């Protein structure tokens, strides 16, 4: 194969000496190019982030948008506990109520027909499910979301990092109305609350 390539290169007027030097040279050039590209890419990304942060600050100033402060940020541990305890109790009540309501709806599900079929019974059941889900999602957003997140963030600031469960951060923002997941959120919140000295 190499002999064939050498013969073809000779026909094109490329010397054998140049071809013998080419693979080593090519390898060195490729490695150096890759390293330079890697370094430039990291630098460009950090510069891009810096530019975006600057633009965000500029837009906030232009429109008078001030990042919201956490109203619980300066609370003492006692004050956090006093505010978080009734919220947790109400949240667990909410979870239990939603579990019961979704259980009742599940018992009404059409038997024998797959829930993906477009029969009138299935469509009515699916509509009831969407309405019930929306009702509880709206109630979570209105009654619990903001205080759960802000109190959790305030407790995080007062507790060691090893107690933070960042895998649930997004779930606090928009949880599905699944009693298992909501119970995970309540358990996480309660764990933080119990660790406040």
Q: Of 32, 14, 179, which is closest to residue 100 (Cα–Cα)?
A: 179
pLDDT reported for residue 166: 83
**Model confidence pLDDT, tens digit, residues 77-98:** 899 999 999 999 999 999 999 9
N- to C-terminal Cα distance for the chain?
Answer: 75
Q: Do 94 and 54 have their domain in common?
A: no
Mean pLDDT of 142-163: 90
- The span from the CA of 137 to the CA of 44, in Å, is 41
Whether residue 108 is found in the same domain as residue 159: yes
* 102-122 residue pLDDT tens: 999 988 888 766 656 778 888
pLDDT given for residue 137 in this prediction: 93
Same domain, 42 and 90: no
Task: Return the number of other C-beta atoms located less than 10 Å from residue 72's C-beta.
Answer: 18
Evaluate whether 105 touches 132 at the Cβ level (below 8 Å): yes
Is there a single domain that holds both residue 83 and residue 57? no
Domain count, the chain: 2
Tell whether 35 and 125 lie within a shared domain. Answer: no
Which residue, chain included where needed, has tokens 């140049």?
Answer: 18
The tally of CA atoms less than 13 A away on the side-chain side of residue 21 is 5
**Percent above pLDDT 70 for the chain:** 63
Q: Is residue 37 in a domain?
A: yes
Q: Please give the structure tokens belonging to residue 95.
A: 């979870």
């Amino acid at each position: 194969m190499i002999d064939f390539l050498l013969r073809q290169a000779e026909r094109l007027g490329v010397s054998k000496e140049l071809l013998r030097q080419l693979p080593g040279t090519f390898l060195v050039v490729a490695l150096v190019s890759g390293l330079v590209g890697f370094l430039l890419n990291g630098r460009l990304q950090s510069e891009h982030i810096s530019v975006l942060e600057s633009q965000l600050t500029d837009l906030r100033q232009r429109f008078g948008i001030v990042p919201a402060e956490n109203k619980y940020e300066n609370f003492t541990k006692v004050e956090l506990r006093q505010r978080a305890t009734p919220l947790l109790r109400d949240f667990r009540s909410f979870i239990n109520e939603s579990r019961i309501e979704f259980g009742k709806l599940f018992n009404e599900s059409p038997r024998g027909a797959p829930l993906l079929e477009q029969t009138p019974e299935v469509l009515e059941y699916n509509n009831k499910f969407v309405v019930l889900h929306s009702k509880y999602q709206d109630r979570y957003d209105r009654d619990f979301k903001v205080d759960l997140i802000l109190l959790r963030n305030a407790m995080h600031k007062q507790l060691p990092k090893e107690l933070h469960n960042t895998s649930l951060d997004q779930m606090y923002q928009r949880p599905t109305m699944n009693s298992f997941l909501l119970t995970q959120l309540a358990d996480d919140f309660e764990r933080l609350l119990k660790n406040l000295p």
